[in-house]
Amino acid sequence: MVLSNIERSAALEILLRLSRTPLGIKFVTTSTDESSYPPKASFTPPSSCAFWTQGVNEPFSTEPEHHMNCSVGAFVHGFKTLEGIGPGCGCEDVEFLLKIGRFDRQASTFF
């Protein structure tokens, strides 16, 4: 029996006792058939995290430029290097996260 994505999602919610609907993400580097892709995102958010909430509602695809407002999101998706988002890089969003204590400049080996 082949399950639809909606059926898989419902099964995961029940089996794992999830409080939110599961979301799938696929990294694609090449395409031979653009018509099989979901439509491109119609917005560029201040943070790539906004795509997670949108993805629950409908499938869509993004391009690298959709992720460049968020240094962490750009790194996670492979569009920026770790050195390119580290302290002192001029990335205001990373500096803000360090300032509010989300990351510790001294103790963290992340940077």
Domain ranges of the chain: 5-80
| Paired residues of 40 in beta bridges | 61
pTM above 0.95, yes or no: no
**How high is the pLDDT of residue 15?**
85
How far is 43 from 92, CA to CA, in rounded Å?
21
Which residues, 6 or more positions from 5, have their beta carbon under 8 angstroms from its beta carbon? 24
How far is 56 from 24, CA to CA, in rounded Å?
9
**How high is the pLDDT of residue 104?**
67
Decide: residue 95, CB within 10 A, 0-12 exposed, 13-18 middle, 19+ buried: middle
Rounded to 5°, angle at Cα 31 from 28 and 32: 155
pLDDT tens per residue across all 111 residues of the chain: 787 877 887 888 888 888 877 777 777 776 656 666 688 888 888 888 888 888 877 888 888 899 888 888 888 888 888 888 877 788 888 888 888 888 766 644 454
**How high is the pLDDT of residue 108?**
47
In three-state secondary structure terms, 61 is strand
CA-nearest of 35, 88, 24, 27 to 58 is 24
